[in-house]
Structure 1
Amino acid sequence: MTLGPSLLTSGRSRSVSPENPTGEKGAGGGATTGTGAAAARDLGPGWKISPSVEVPAGATHLLGDLPGPGVIRHLWCTTHPRHWRSLIVRIHWDGAPEPAVAVPLGDFFCSGWGEFAQVSSVPVAVNPHGGFNAYWEMPYRVGARLTVENLGPEPALLFYQIDYELTDVPPGAAYLHALWRRSNPLPDREPHTIVDGVSGPGHYVGTYLAWGVNTSGWWGEGELKFYLDGDDELPTICGTGTEDYFGGAWNFDVPGQGYTAYSTPYLGMPQVLRPDGLYRSQQRFGMYRWHLPDPIRFATDLRVTVQALGWRSGGRYLPLRDDIASTAWWYAAGRDHGPVPAFDPDHLEVI
């Protein structure tokens, strides 16, 4: 029998939040200043004096500088939806100069379009009204540094909590990586690159796409391709269509209902924004797939792409130039994946 929650270990639980920014034992709720100070003026210390932080425009806030060895077990945060794309989350493992995680806040939590949709999956849950939760296992050996940068034009009020465990980390434990890319619009007859230049050994564990349709008609005939360990022109793994990769079928179109949102433990399309009707331009979709039961393992290198294809006359495919923003998650032995391109504030805009 494999024991889980009932198995006692030597691990010790800690938590970082604005009420305990260092995560020290016995230091929770000790703030004397903060965003709740006025509300707690009749109560004093210990009564929610610092539930959140204000991140000024253009500033970077240190969420947590965690000692090691340890494992981050849970991240929770919330902020106004207008900040979901302009706040950039970065995580550095074990003193690495470059972040292993560099993703806009909303996209990291499968919410790339700045509008709430319920997400009920194993590693990510988004609950009313914008409660972001991540349960990715995130081991580190020396220390973990988590920051958020505000690239927006106004201050952002951010509530957050990082739950972690001080514990031994086995030699074979890999580091979590996550990277965001956007093509807007996608170049003519080119695939969108979800991730490239990834070094192994490792395994790929998740994809989120915030897909904006720039033409009328169906948009999801394109294949997702995984190029593994030296693959060149042709990949080792090639899917049969975009909605197929995310576990759907037949255009996600339920007769009489049209596009139908869904959220399951390992795949879903929780975001369906359709201001102009079923198949007309400016549709917006958010889709995730978690390769937790079926990780895609690679030894030396990995590249992942997706095509954008619709239909034209004569039963022919139509290459599309849509707006595709992707977030990829994978585990790898390396602490980082090299320099991360700077985020362009104008490129982050949600239309």
Structure 2
Amino acid sequence: MLASWSTGLGSAHFLMNARSRSISPENPHGDKGAGGKAASRLGTGRKGRAFISLRRDETVSLAEIQGPGVITHLWMTVSDQTPEANFVLRDLVLRMYWDSEETPSVEVPLGDFFCNGFGTRCVVNSLPIVVAPSGGMNCYFPMPFREGAKIAIASDHPADIEAFFYQVDFLLTDELPERAAYFHAQRRREKVTTPKRDYTVVDGIRGQGKYVGTYLAVAVLERYWWGEGEFKFYIDGDQDWPTICTTGTEDYFGGAWAFQERRPDGSICVVNYSTPYLGYPFYAISDNTTASPYSRDAVPMHGLYRWHLMDPVFFEQDLKVTVQQIGHDGNNLFERSDDVSSVAYWYQLEPHAPFPALLPAKARRPR
């Protein structure tokens, strides 16, 4: 049954009971034999509608699909700034709804969903998320649905956006396995974390499922090394103490020793990396999104991802994920406070618990 709709290298040689479809501005409903009909100055069917425009405060439905089926690939791109303002990638919000639910199962600023936090582009080379030059954002998390699926983009940007490009590739099938779970993603932020109180990546997950990934964006507000905090997974009723506890932030993301290497001349440099399952693709000590001299005073920013695809965290009743805010000054550990935001990715059987209200656009902006 599973092979009837699963995709990937392991099933590349199987013929599946599925019908391939795709939604884009060139075929907005994904109908069979209906792509590429729009006209341009080159004529009918000659790249007539490659993108859509987004007006200020507008929500646009990118895809509405009748199921059952599974979304296999998302591709999107948009300029990360307009002449009027920066931070388009945090002003646009991606929402996804499965079957007939009224509240979204995915609600994340566009850039953060694709591991491009801080409203700034960076290249990501991982298995489920790929951001290719220059800003082509791809997602390969499979997203099954039974009755239908809806994907929407909401613009909180203070100006109109001339061109937003997207493509949604999906399969239609006659049925899904009974245990096929639904994809979820939730974004949170604490602009100033509280010392000695762990930052909450996600809480309130109720039901049965598995946790499959974390994106973390840290804007450093204090001196010295910021990444000693341990990730904690409170599973199925855990209260005071978690079932899973890591040894440090850089350790959780697969790195070590503060992501630093010593050059031959004795100087220390930060090393970025991007691998199939984990990475540290973004580090900046200033904001380079604009040539304005007023943008050069940004605090250091760090973006990291970890995919629990080979090591999923299963839960049967509930799940909470946190990370400590602990630093090191070269001699001792210390409690610290930083600006932290995150995206949690997981699968679960519906219904899901309502998400906390997403912060308004100004509160989502990077420092």
Normalising by the residue count of structure 1, what TM-score does the alignment of the two structures yield? 0.93
**Counterparts of 1:133 and 1:207 in 2: how far apart (Å)?**
16
**Counterparts of 1:261 and 1:164 in 2: how far apart (Å)?**
33
Does structure 2 conserve the Cα–Cα contact (< 8 Å) formed by 1:214 and 1:281? no
**Which of the numbers 155, 162, 165 marks the counterpart of 1:159?**
165
Unaligned runs of 5+ in 1: 33-39
Q: 2:198 is matched with which residue? A: 191
- Name the SS for the 1:149 alignment partner: strand
Q: 2:84 is matched with which residue? A: none
Q: Percent identity?
A: 45
Per-residue Cα deviation, 1:264-286 (whole angstroms, up to 9, x for no partner): 0000000011239xxx9921111
Matches within 5 A, 1:217-236: 217-236=224-243
Does structure 2 conserve the Cα–Cα contact (< 8 Å) formed by 1:215 and 1:282? no
Q: 2:60 is matched with which residue? A: 61
**Which of the numbers 326, 335, 357 marks the counterpart of 1:319?**
335
Root mean square deviation of aligned Cα: 1.7
The code of the aligned residue for 2:67 comes to: G
**Greater CA drift, 94-103 or 253-262:** 253-262
Cα offset for 1:258? 1.7
**Counterparts of 2:47 and 2:353 in 1: how far apart (Å)?**
39
The code of the aligned residue for 1:85 comes to: R
Does structure 1 conserve the Cα–Cα contact (< 8 Å) formed by 2:225 and 2:329? no
Q: Is 1:128 the equivalent of 2:133?
A: yes
- Name the SS for the 2:227 alignment partner: coil
The code of the aligned residue for 2:311 comes to: D
The code of the aligned residue for 2:336 comes to: L
The code of the aligned residue for 1:164 comes to: F
**Which of the numbers 150, 156, 169 marks the counterpart of 1:145?**
150
The code of the aligned residue for 2:180 comes to: A
**Counterparts of 2:157 and 2:170 in 1: how far apart (Å)?**
29
Does structure 1 conserve the Cα–Cα contact (< 8 Å) formed by 2:226 and 2:325? yes
**Which of the numbers 225, 250, 253 marks the counterpart of 1:243?**
250
Does structure 2 conserve the Cα–Cα contact (< 8 Å) formed by 1:96 and 1:336? no
Poorly superposed stretches of 4+, deviation over 6 Å: none
Unaligned runs of 5+ in 2: 1-8, 82-87, 288-296
The code of the aligned residue for 1:200 comes to: G
The code of the aligned residue for 2:73 comes to: H
Does structure 1 conserve the Cα–Cα contact (< 8 Å) formed by 2:195 and 2:325? no
Cα offset for 1:342? 3.7
Cα offset for 1:339? 4.4
Does structure 2 conserve the Cα–Cα contact (< 8 Å) formed by 1:100 and 1:335? no
Q: Is 1:302 the equivalent of 2:308?
A: no
Per-residue Cα deviation, 1:270-316 (whole angstroms, up to 9, x for no partner): 0011239xxx9921111000000000001100000011111258x43
Q: 2:259 is matched with which residue? A: 252
Does structure 2 conserve the Cα–Cα contact (< 8 Å) formed by 1:217 and 1:281? no
**Which of the numbers 79, 96, 120 marks the counterpart of 1:91?**
96
Per-residue Cα deviation, 1:158-186 (whole angstroms, up to 9, x for no partner): 10000000012111100000000001011
The code of the aligned residue for 1:202 comes to: G
Does structure 1 conserve the Cα–Cα contact (< 8 Å) formed by 2:211 and 2:314? yes
Cα offset for 1:320? 1.6
Q: 1:92 to 1:47 in 2, by over 3 A?
A: same
**Counterparts of 2:21 and 2:298 in 1: how far apart (Å)?**
48
Does structure 1 conserve the Cα–Cα contact (< 8 Å) formed by 2:233 and 2:319? yes
Normalising by the residue count of structure 2, what TM-score does the alignment of the two structures yield? 0.89
Q: 1:36 is matched with which residue? A: none
- Name the SS for the 2:362 alignment partner: helix
Number of residue pairs matched by the alignment: 338
